[in-house]
């Protein structure tokens, strides 16, 4: 604001200057609109210049504008806004009339108002503002107020409308503004017909903007019919200082303030006998209907209107309006009615129009509104109601004395805290917390208010999981809130439509159990078991989840006896199966919950050993493990682990046979389909050691087989990833002890690591992208875990060759193109490098690497950030052990299609190589050729390699090796030809063009140059027209920029113009193949190059 006037003066100076073009003025108005949009037009208009001499030029400029021009609407907006302050000047506008034949100044201004009220852009809003200021002038309202109202009502009635509702926006906005700024005496004669028009045209049922403006109009008409007054009957809280509520010592001061803080509520209202116009009843009826409108802006406007109108009514009439509003808050009403009713109650309370005698009727409804939620399929309505109910509680805190609110504080505090902790929506949680805070500050009689405020603040409840699982538990330490929090979850969240809320609610109940164990064991468990009999599958699902969680928590409390619940717990799964509730889509949801239930019951060590229920549970787990739903199979695997740990750990022959049968069952299903394999590898990985003792070798070899990629299993990347994780888990479970090698993974760990190395080569691509990344990431994390374990338990198994392969495979992933994969690789590499206690043996070039990757660097590096990762790993290029591996990863990043990543990867690499010696540059260059020769037939490397190589040659890093083009350049040419032979890959062909053009420059006029010309000439006659066009463009640019026409290069300078003319002027992509060959052969003849033979030409062209 201190700089606002200065900014506006600069803009106005540009607009006033007649020397500037209209284009500059349009731009100035665009800046004016930006400032206005930030600060608001009501503030900006106060700082605009308002001098009499501005009226004519501003009005003339706005009349010259085209209202339909979509490019200059900011200019019109600014001019209309500027005009709205100028018309406020107290001078006679008639003296500006130029002649009797032209329209008067007043008529021109009215026409401008009407013109821009009918616009569909932002000008309409400020035009309404201008209209109100113009028509409320003393010299204008007598002449033009009535015609304007007539014009507006004709459009609203549709008598002169073009587009029905769209045309009503402007006149409605104008009328609303005039009714707001006009004087009551001037508007009273028109009020009845305006109200009749608004009601008859049913504007409140139209578009949201129409209904909002019509609600404002109805409100202001009601205020016109009623005389302004301050009702003596309203409740007025005198002392609103927060400091006053905190004063505890000065009792006489407090008593004095308390005695004078409110107006007597029993005073008779002397205006009770005053006659209320019939129109006011219609206004109130319209506003009450607007409270139920489908648009929230209309409901908000109606609630404010209710408050303003009631403030001018008698006590009896005001109480009747409150009754109307309370009638909206009933179970049959829609969420819109509840929302509107809550907003109206808040407005009435703020104005002191909701008397304390009504609080006993209002408060139960507000409590219901705080938890209002109506499921609608896979969503719900009611979040706006809960938000508005919190607003009501906030308004009550500011409106009433503590002694009046005291009977309701306990229930309001408990409900607000429950909403603040457990509401699904973040804005509802924060609204409830704000209302609680306001009540604590204003009333001071909420239990443990200050302590709770430090726990449940704006930020801590922002995270839903933190609010459910942390904040609620901290608040539950106060006995006033523990049972209410539990009851809220049982009544409102366990059967919530959102499964995530049900899961969080069950976890919250588990954590709250320790705060009120007796209440949970008696009341809580009873309610949950009742929910399991419900026809609502959401309630059943939530109840089963909660029962498992709560039973486990109760089992940890010694004084709680679970025996009364054992029978129902034992029969629960069988009960669902008997009712066929475990079938179908909804059954899948319930089966996942049952797996969780079995998991927690097993952890609770319930006395079901040897009972048939264990077989029932095992059967359910077997069904779930192979399910395609990953959450279900994962829950089943967890359940199997704890079930077998608790109920199968028995040395009897029968139990050992049962365990072996379970293991064999899951290994047999590894080859059935993808979902079966995914679930079974999870189950095998989570199995306890005693179940795997007799079959560890068989299980490991089966899991290793699952890592291999076949044509049938190429899409099974999640299963391969799961197999790797399962192998790691088995190694940790069985250990690497060499004492009893048959019962450990000592003899299998090297085989497992080699399988992981094969997994690092998994680059499977489907329509979902690089799904092999899942396998590579799992393998890297497996390397970290197994290397650390092997170093600690069986270090003799780690040979230099094995460790080198592991480290090199991880380093390669650290410079490849996927951010997530790079991040995992960087973390694994730094963890292995800086392993404490016993370091990883045989770490390649460990001393040199530690100088680059210090502990400090590794601790602060963001491994997924390319700008941090690549500069570090590029330094490994000059360490011979790492050069080829690093280069392999860099090729895919620099040659990839992501330009940003290519730049991030190439810049540090080229900078690092540039400062190396010529010998080092040659060493790296020949490694690059070695990679090209090795991978020229592998699309994953060959395609990006050509782009990478073109960048590498352009960088100048190959100058030392190109001094002898007959060796290195020849190898590049040979590999490029082999790579693109018989290919139709557009990226390959395009990349090869760039390589051939670079070789023209580096070939030195010898055989490499000649053969590069031949390859480019073949492309000029290719069957792909786009390839011809790209080749001719690239070749022309190369011939123009490079020193090819030189005797030293073997190309005569005198033929330059003729060669360039053939290449540049020929429309290669429009010629037939025969015509293109003729042109190509003429080009070759000038260069003294023998054209390809006809057979070769046909094969390649």
Per-residue pLDDT tens over the stretch 651-687: 888 889 999 999 999 998 888 888 899 999 999 999 9
How would residue 242 be classed by pLDDT, with cut points 50, 70 and 90? low
Residue 916 has pLDDT above 50, yes or no: yes
Q: Answer yes or no: is 790 within a domain.
A: no
Closest to 645 measured CA to CA, from 635, 654, 655: 655
Averaged pLDDT score across all residues of the chain:
88
319: buried, middle or exposed (CB in 10 Å: 19+, 13-18, 0-12)? middle
Structural contact between residues 291 and 341, judged by C-beta atoms closer than 8 angstroms: yes
pLDDT single digits (tens) 572-581: 999 999 999 9
Query: Model confidence at 282, in pLDDT bands (50, 70, 90)?
Result: very high
Helices (H), 687-741: 689-692, 696-707, 717-734
- Residue 37 lies inside a defined structural domain of this protein: no
pLDDT class for 250, splitting at 50, 70, 90? very low
Q: Is the pLDDT of residue 807 over 60?
A: yes
pLDDT of residue 238: 52
Does the pLDDT value for residue 254 go beyond 50? no
Report how far residue 149's alpha carbon sits from residue 175's, in angstroms, rounded to the nearest whole number. Answer: 7
Q: What is the mean pLDDT of residues 799-823?
A: 94
Distance, CA of 1075 to CA of 1078 (rounded, Å): 5
CB 821 within 8 A of CB 813: yes
The yes-or-no verdict on residue 784 having pLDDT over 60 is yes
What percent of the chain shows pLDDT beyond 90? 60
Residue 1002 has pLDDT above 90, yes or no: no
* Predicted confidence (pLDDT) at residue 597 exceeds the cutoff of 60: yes
List the structure tokens of 1095: 């057979």
Quick check: 252 pLDDT over 50? no
Q: Which of 692, 676, 672 is closest to 684 using CA atoms? A: 692
Q: Give the span between the Cα atoms of 313 and 61, in whole angstroms.
A: 48
* Helix 772-793 vs helix 819-833: crossing angle, to nearest 10: 10
Q: Indicate the pLDDT class of residue 266, thresholds 50, 70 and 90.
A: very low
Domain count, the chain: 2
Stretch 863-874: mean pLDDT: 93
Scored b (16 or more CB within 10 A) or e, 174-200 reads bbbbbbbebeeebbeebbbebbebbbe
Which letter, b or e, does each residue of 603-636 get, where b requires 16 or more Cβ atoms within 10 Å of its Cβ? bbebebeeeebbebbbebbbebbbbeeeebbbbb
**Beta strands per DSSP E along 795-853:** none
**Cα separation of 301 and 269, whole Å?**
28
Give tens-digit pLDDT for 982-1001.
888 888 898 899 888 888 87
DSSP-derived letter for residue 839 is P
**pLDDT value of position 101:** 60
For residue 523, is it within any domain? Answer: yes
Which of 239, 236, 266, 235 minimizes the C-alpha distance to 255? 239
- Mean pLDDT of all residues in 110-139: 92
Last residue within a domain, chosen from 647, 667, 689: 647
1034, part of any domain? yes
> Who wins on pLDDT, 392 or 957?
392
pLDDT of residue 515: 93
Question: Considering the domain boundaries, does residue 815 fall inside one?
Answer: no
Average pLDDT rounded to a whole number, residues 436-456: 93
Q: Last residue of a domain, which of 601, 623, 647?
A: 647
The strand pair at 765-766 and 769-770 is best described as antiparallel
Q: In this predicted model, what pLDDT tens digit does every residue of 703-728 receive, in sequence order?
A: 999 999 988 888 899 999 999 999 99
Residues 314-335 have pLDDT tens digits of: 999 999 999 999 999 999 999 9
For residue 609, what are the domain limits?
484-647
What confidence tier does 980 reach under pLDDT thresholds 50, 70, 90?
confident
- 458 domain residue, yes or no: no
Instruction: Specify if 641 maps to a domain.
Output: yes
Least confident of 81-90, 228-237, 300-309: 228-237
Task: Report helix, strand or coil for 103.
Answer: coil
Mark which of 647, 682, 713 sits at the end of a domain: 647
Measured between alpha carbons, how far apart are the two ends of the chain, in Å?
Answer: 72
Mean per-residue pLDDT, 43-59: 88
Q: Does residue 1031 register a pLDDT over 80? A: yes
pLDDT > 70 fraction of the chain, expressed in percent and rounded: 93
* Structural domain includes residue 53: no
β-bridge partners, 766: 769
279-288, 349-358, 885-894, 953-962: least confidently modelled range: 953-962
The mean pLDDT value for 482-498 works out to 95
């Amino acid at each position: 604001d201190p700089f606002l006037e200065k900014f506006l003066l600069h803009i106005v100076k540009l607009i006033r200057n007649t020397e500037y073009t209209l284009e500059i003025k349009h731009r100035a108005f665009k800046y004016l609109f930006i400032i206005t949009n930030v600060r608001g037009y009501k503030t900006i208009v106060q700082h605009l210049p308002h001098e009499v001499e501005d009226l004519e030029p501003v009005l003339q400029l706005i009349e010259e504008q085209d209202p339909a021009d979509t490019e200059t609407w900011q200019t019109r907006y600014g001019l209309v806004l500027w005009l709205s302050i100028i018309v406020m000047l107290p001078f006679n506008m008639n003296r500006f009339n130029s002649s009797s034949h032209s329209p008067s100044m007043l008529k021109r201004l009215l026409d401008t108002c009407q013109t821009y009220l009918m616009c569909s852009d932002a000008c309409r809003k400020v035009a309404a503002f201008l209209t109100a200021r113009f028509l409320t002038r003393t010299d204008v309202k007598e002449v033009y107020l009535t015609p304007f109202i007539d014009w507006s009502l004709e459009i609203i009635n549709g008598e002169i409308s073009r587009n029905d509702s769209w045309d009503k926006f402007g006149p409605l906005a104008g009328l609303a503004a005039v009714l707001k700024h006009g004087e009551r005496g001037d508007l009273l004669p028109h009020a009845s017909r305006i109200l009749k028009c608004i009601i008859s045209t049913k504007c409140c049922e139209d578009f949201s903007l129409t209904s909002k403006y019509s609600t404002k109009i109805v409100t202001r008409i009601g205020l016109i019919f009623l005389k302004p007054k301050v009702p003596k009957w309203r409740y007025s809280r005198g002392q609103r200082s927060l400091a006053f509520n905190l004063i505890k010592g000065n009792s006489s001061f407090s008593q004095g303030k308390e005695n004078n803080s409110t107006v007597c509520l029993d005073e008779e209202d002397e205006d009770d006998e005053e006659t209320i116009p019939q129109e006011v009843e219609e206004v109130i009826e319209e506003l009450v209907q607007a409270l139920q409108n489908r648009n929230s802006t209309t409901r908000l406007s109606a609630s404010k209107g209710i408050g303003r109108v009631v403030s001018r009514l008698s006590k009896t009439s005001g109480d009747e309006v409150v009754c109307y509003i309370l009638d909206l808050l009933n179970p049959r009403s829609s969420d819109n009615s509840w929302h509107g009713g809550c907003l109206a109650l808040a407005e009435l309370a703020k104005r002191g129009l909701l008397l304390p005698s009504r609080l006993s009727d209002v408060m139960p409804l507000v409590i219901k509104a705080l938890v209002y939620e109506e499921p609608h399929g896979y969503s719900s309505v009611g979040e706006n109601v809960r938000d508005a109910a919190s607003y009501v509680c906030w308004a009550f805190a500011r409106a009433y004395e503590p002694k009046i609110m005291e009977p309701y504080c306990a229930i309001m505090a408990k409900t607000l805290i429950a909403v603040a902790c457990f509401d699904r929506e973040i804005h509802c949680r924060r609204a409830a917390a704000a209302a609680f805070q306001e009540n604590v500050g204003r009333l001071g009689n909420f239990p443990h208010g200050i302590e709770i405020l430090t726990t449940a603040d704006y930020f801590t409840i922002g995270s839903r999981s933190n609010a459910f699982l942390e904040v609620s538990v901290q608040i539950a330490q106060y006995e006033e809130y523990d049972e209410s929090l539990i009851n809220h979850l049982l009544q409102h969240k366990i059967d919530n439509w959102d499964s995530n809320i049900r899961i969080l609610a069950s976890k919250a109940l588990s954590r709250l159990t320790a705060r009120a164990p007796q209440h949970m064991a008696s009341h809580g468990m009873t309610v949950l078991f009742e929910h399991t009999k419900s026809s609502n599958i959401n309630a059943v699902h939530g109840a089963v989840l909660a029962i498992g969680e709560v039973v486990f928590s109760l089992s940890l409390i010694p004084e709680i006896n679970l025996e009364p619940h054992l029978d129902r717990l034992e029969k629960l799964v069988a009960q669902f199966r008997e009712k066929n509730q475990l079938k179908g889509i909804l059954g899948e949801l319930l089966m996942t919950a049952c797996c969780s239930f079995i998991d927690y019951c097993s952890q609770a060590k319930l006395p079901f050993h040897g009972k048939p229920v264990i077989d029932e549970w095992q059967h359910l787990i077997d069904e779930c493990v192979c399910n395609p739903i990953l959450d279900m199979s994962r829950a089943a695997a967890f359940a199997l682990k704890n079930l077998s740990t608790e109920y199968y750990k028995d040395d009897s022959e029968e139990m050992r046979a049962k365990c072996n049968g379970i293991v064999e069952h899951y290994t047999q299903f590894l080859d059935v389909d993808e979902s079966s394999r995914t679930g079974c590898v999870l189950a095998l990985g989570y199995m306890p050691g005693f179940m795997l003792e007799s079959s560890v070798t068989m299980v490991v070899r089966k899991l290793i087989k699952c890592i291999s990629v076949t044509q049938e299993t190429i899409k099974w990347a999640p299963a391969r990833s799961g197999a790797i994780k399962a192998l790691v888990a088995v190694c940790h479970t069985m250990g690497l002890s060499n004492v009893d090698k048959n019962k450990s993974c000592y003899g299998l760990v090297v085989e497992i690591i080699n399988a992981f190395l094969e997994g690092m080569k998994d680059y499977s691509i489907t329509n979902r992208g690089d799904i092999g990344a899942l396998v590579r990431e799992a393998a890297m994390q497996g390397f970290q875990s197994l290397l650390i374990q092997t170093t600690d338990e069986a270090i003799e198994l780690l040979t230099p060759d094995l460790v080198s392969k592991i480290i090199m495979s991880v380093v390669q992933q650290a410079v490849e193109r996927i951010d997530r994969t790079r991040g995992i690789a960087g973390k694994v590499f730094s963890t292995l490098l800086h392993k404490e206690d016993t370091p990883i043996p045989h770490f390649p070039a460990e001393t040199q690497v530690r100088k680059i990757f210090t502990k400090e660097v590794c601790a602060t590096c963001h491994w997924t950030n390319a700008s941090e990762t690549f500069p570090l790993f590029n330094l490994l290029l000059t360490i011979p052990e790492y050069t080829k591996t690093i280069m392999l990863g860099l090729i895919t990043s620099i040659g990839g299609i992501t330009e940003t990543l290519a730049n991030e990867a190439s810049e540090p690499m080229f900078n690092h190589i540039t400062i190396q010696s010529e010998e080092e540059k040659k060493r790296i260059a020949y490694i690059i050729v070695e990679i090209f020769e090795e991978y020229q037939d592998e699309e994953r490397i060959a395609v990006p390699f050509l782009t990478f190589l073109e960048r590498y040659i352009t960088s100048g890093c190959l100058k030392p090796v190109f001094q002898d083009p007959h060796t290195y350049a020849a190898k590049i040419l040979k590999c490029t030809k082999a790579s693109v032979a018989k290919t139709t890959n557009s990226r390959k062909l395009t990349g090869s063009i760039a390589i051939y053009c670079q070789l023209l420059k580096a070939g030195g006029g010898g055989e490499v140059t000649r053969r590069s010309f031949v390859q480019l000439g073949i492309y000029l006659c290719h069957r792909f027209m786009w390839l011809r066009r790209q080749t001719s463009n690239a070749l022309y640019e190369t011939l123009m920029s490079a020193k090819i026409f030189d005797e030293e290069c073997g190309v005569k300078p005198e033929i330059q113009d003729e060669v360039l003319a053939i290449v540049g002027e020929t429309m290669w992509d429009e010629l037939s193949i025969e015509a293109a060959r003729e042109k190509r052969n003429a080009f070759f003849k000038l260069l003294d190059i023998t054209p390809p033979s006809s057979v070769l030409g046909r094969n390649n062209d």
